[in-house]
Amino acid sequence: METWRTNIVDAGPAHIRVRGYDVLDLMQRSTFSDLIFLLHHDRLPTSAERRLVDAILIGVADHGAGAPSCAAARLAASGNRQSPSAAIAAGILTIGDEHGGAGSGCMELIAAGLDRARSNGLSFDVVATQLVDESRSAGARLPGFGHRVHATIDPRVDVLFGLASSSGLAGDGIRFARALEDAIRVRIKPIPLNIDGALAAILVDLGLPALVGKLLFIVGRVAGLSAEVLEEYTREKPMRIKIPVAYDGVPPRENGA
């Protein structure tokens, strides 16, 4: 088998280094959010960047036991109490474009918009309107906007953008996301940025690739899933969950095989 190559971790018998940094030193001086930034970037964050990473991870960690990710983790903990990793994995598997993963699509949208604005010398407002119109005529949803619970506005968005603004880290990512929000309001109806869209805008400004929009949601949500699994193991009996189902298919018939 070919030897695998990696530029993330160098783990020898006498040392472990993460992107060049001695892990023993990181353990003594850095925070977990520093390490998360480092693992996905090529350097450690500044203290302002660390604050944003902490805020994002805290913001997405847990949105209640009834969210699909938490509910699936609890179902697995309910039927299979031999493996907490199985329960956490079941929760993670519910995360996709429709649940928690819209950040990646929104980062691609913002990146495409910034690229078009710069290449063609267009204003953000003009490009945002173009993208909204194009998405609308293609019948596509705009990832990062709208939420099934927070019909009007998700207060976590303002907190994230406030932190970015007060620390001087609000850049073109946030400006373009706001331009998209304006264009949506004008061309369709008011559909506010959601938490996925807010983290997408910030992650663009932090220089991270689009896939990280989905990945950071997962990293944060696992903290919540872990606690939900702990509660299910310690507080609830196995197989307590019964989902009510009604059959509406074909009536009874004979097997002529």
DSSP letter at 249 equals S
How far, in Å, are 19, 96, 168, 254, 257 from residue 52 at the CA level?
21, 23, 11, 63, 64
Of 128 and 199, CB closest to its own copies: 199
CA separation for the pair 197, 243 (Å, rounded): 32
Using DSSP, state whether 18 is helix, strand or coil.
Answer: strand
First to last CA, the chain: 50
Q: Are strands 21-22 and 9-12 parallel, antiparallel or unpaired?
A: unpaired
175 touches 128 (CB < 8 A): no
Tell me the per-residue interface mask from 26 to 55 with its own copies, x by CB under 8 A, - otherwise: xxxxxxxxxxx--xx-x-x--------xxx
Residues 103-142 close enough to bind its own copies by CB under 8 A: none
Q: How far is the CB of 186 from its own copies (least distance, A)?
A: 26
Q: How far is the CB of 202 from its own copies (least distance, A)?
A: 12
Q: How far is the CB of 124 from its own copies (least distance, A)?
A: 26
Candidate residues 49, 101, 129, 184; the one interacting with its own copies per rule CB under 8 A: 101
Nearest to 7 by CA among 46, 39, 37, 32: 39
Of 96 and 207, CB closest to its own copies: 96
Candidate residues 48, 49, 99, 167; the one interacting with its own copies per rule CB under 8 A: 99
Per CB under 8 A, 165 contacts its own copies = no
Of 122 and 218, CB closest to its own copies: 218
Size of the site for its own copies (CB under 8 A): 129
Tell me the per-residue interface mask from 4 to 23 with its own copies, x by CB under 8 A, - otherwise: xxxxxxxx-xxxxxxxxxxx
CA separation for the pair 13, 16 (Å, rounded): 8
Per CB under 8 A, 207 contacts its own copies = no
